[in-house]
Structure 1
Amino acid sequence: MAGSTTAERGERQQESSGPPPLLRSRRARLRAIVLLGLALVFLGIPTAWLFYGSDWLRAEQVSVSGTRVLTPAQVESAAEVPLGKPLISVDTGAIETRLRRKLPRIDAVDVVRSWPHGIDLKVVERTPVLIVHKGGKFVEVDDEGVRFATVSEAPKGVPALELTLSRSGSAAASLRRFGESRLVREAVGVARAVPAAVARETRTVKVRSYDDISLELRDGRTVLWGSSEKGAAKARTLTALMKATPEAGYFDVSVPTAPASSGS
């Protein structure tokens, strides 16, 4: 009987040695993936239960920080944090939206989960730079020109905004071109640019038109500021002019390169 050929012996050796290395490697990777998936499933079930089903990580308390005029109780009430709900499922974005809508005095708020049981509300309130008299009360205006609150008592040290917008002549043209809201923002820009020493003495910011904004000081002096443009230059000029002519009652820095003062 003839012996087996070389080719036949090679085929028998390959069959006895098992599948090729590449195939074995793929099978090993597949087994590893399956085992990893099973492990994640079994580990994930208790983890999901911990966050969503247990009583260990639920919203049970609310803390408020950063308030000045508002009270923590007002903020907490407006936030409507769903106490007793799993902490991980509390919609922090919805809380922020509610607070901004219900409390316009809030300029910014950060809602943070404080594990294991808390929600922290970190509030930044708007600061008034002007007030507007309205029906015996006062509307507060912030540094962006936003009218955010009506109060019964004027905040100390905040000047009043007086809009004396004529319906005829150049003032009427300014009103038509810019609108009242823009003119209010111009007044805010002036109030922010005024030197600190003058700002403390400012009683009223008067707006007649875009480029006719003036300040009335508590001691009766007047400053013609013009528009809000070149605010820093006007502030420097006014400071120097008041030092040079301390007895003057009227200062004009509407053109900062050509200031003037008069009266006593």
Structure 2
Amino acid sequence: MPAPAPAARTPQQRPGGSAQRRRAVRAAAPPPAVRPARGAARSDARARAGARAGGSRSGGARVADLSARLGRRRPLPRPGRRAALVAAVLAVVLAALAWLALGSPWLRVQQVRVSGAERTDPERVLALVGAQRGEPLAAVDTRELSQRVGQALPLVESVDVLRSWPSTLVVRLDERDAVAAVPSTSGGVDLVDADARVLQHAESAPAGVPLLSVDVDSARPGALRAALAVNGSLPAEVRSRVASITAESPDSVRLQLLEGPEVVWGDAGRPERKGQVLLRLLQEEEVARAALVDVSAPDAPAVRSAP
């Protein structure tokens, strides 16, 4: 039996046509995801973790290296070195100040000024202090100078020697007050202070200084000191009216007023009470014209009229 004749092929059924279309479709479709094996996944995770750790270690190394470089570029001063530097600067400053105070020609004594010398001759003060001219003002021993002037001048009670920069010495005197004038055997009077120290000789008692008419040879011991004590304790209103004070013994001091009677004062006790009684009595015209007023016992005063 004869074989059947092959059927005619259409264009779509050409050999190889279907296979080409399948290959084109597979090429256009995305490739399927490939899942790695379990061991490979673990290896990749360890690799990534190591990479991160390595990156951190690398970054820390870079920071440490940068800090080291900065530290080498700007070294901080050590405390000991800083203290030595400060000490050196202070030493230089102190040396400069010392030279300025002791060696500078502008800080030497060029002038001496005296104040408070009312009865003291300023030339005597200058003679005692003038040797300091030309000396460094800072090196002057002011205490020693004060003692020297105070011991040499009896009128001076206290002395202050001060530095007045840049080149002046100031001598401030505090003079003793003459509280009484005592007749001198050579004529005139000796001005004495409250301790019976003779301050200076004068021709007569200055205004406001009473005359102590005390015969030291014939008076009992202590009469002069008692008169001085009474004079020093008199109230100001009474003292301004006293012309002279006499005493034959420590408890028989008498006052002679400038315009008024003689006053029997007695000893140096109760001066304020005696002064109050005397001033009240002198307000009466009869007492003001009296010859004698006795306030030695102030609670029982007595008045004796002039003859």
**Band the TM-score falls in, shorter-chain normalisation:** 0.7 to 0.9
Tell me by how many angstroms 1:235 deviates: 0.7
Which residue number corresponds to residue 45 of structure 2? none
Q: Say whether the 8 Å CA contact 1:104–1:148 is kept in structure 2.
A: yes
> Runs of 4+ in structure 1 displaced over 6 angstroms?
none
Which structure has the higher relative contact order (CA within 8 Å, separation 6+)? 1
Q: Say whether the 8 Å CA contact 1:195–1:239 is kept in structure 2.
A: no
For residues 145 and 255 of structure 1, the distance between their equivalents in structure 2, rounded to whole angstroms, comes to 26
Partner SS for 2:243:
strand
The structure whose Rg is larger is: 2
- Deviation digits for residues 124-155 of structure 1 (CA, Å, limit 9, x no counterpart): 22221101111103211123433222223432
Paired letter, 1:214 = R
Count of matched residue pairs:
227
- Deviation digits for residues 87-116 of structure 1 (CA, Å, limit 9, x no counterpart): 001111121112112211112221110000
Which residue number corresponds to residue 139 of structure 2? 89
1:216 to 244, 251, 256: 256
Which residue number corresponds to residue 231 of structure 2? 191
1:1-264 mapped onto 2 (5 Å cutoff): 29-134=79-184, 135-164=186-215, 172=220, 175=221, 180=222, 183-219=223-259, 221-244=261-284, 245-264=287-306
Identity percentage of aligned residues: 32
Paired letter, 2:128 = A
- Deviation digits for residues 23-68 of structure 1 (CA, Å, limit 9, x no counterpart): xxxx955444433322221111111111111202101101111221
Which structure 1 residue ranges, 5 or more long, are not aligned? Answer: 1-26
Q: Structure 2 length normalisation: TM-score?
A: 0.67
For residues 109 and 262 of structure 2, the distance between their equivalents in structure 1, rounded to whole angstroms, comes to 57
Partner SS for 1:237:
helix
For residues 151 and 49 of structure 1, the distance between their equivalents in structure 2, rounded to whole angstroms, comes to 50
Q: Structure 1 length normalisation: TM-score?
A: 0.77
- Deviation digits for residues 220-253 of structure 1 (CA, Å, limit 9, x no counterpart): 7211111111111111111112223222211111
Paired letter, 1:124 = D
For residues 215 and 203 of structure 2, the distance between their equivalents in structure 1, rounded to whole angstroms, comes to 23
Q: Say whether the 8 Å CA contact 1:79–1:96 is kept in structure 2.
A: no
Tell me by how many angstroms 1:196 deviates: 3.9
Partner SS for 1:56:
helix
For residues 136 and 216 of structure 2, the distance between their equivalents in structure 1, rounded to whole angstroms, comes to 56
For residues 29 and 238 of structure 1, the distance between their equivalents in structure 2, rounded to whole angstroms, comes to 83
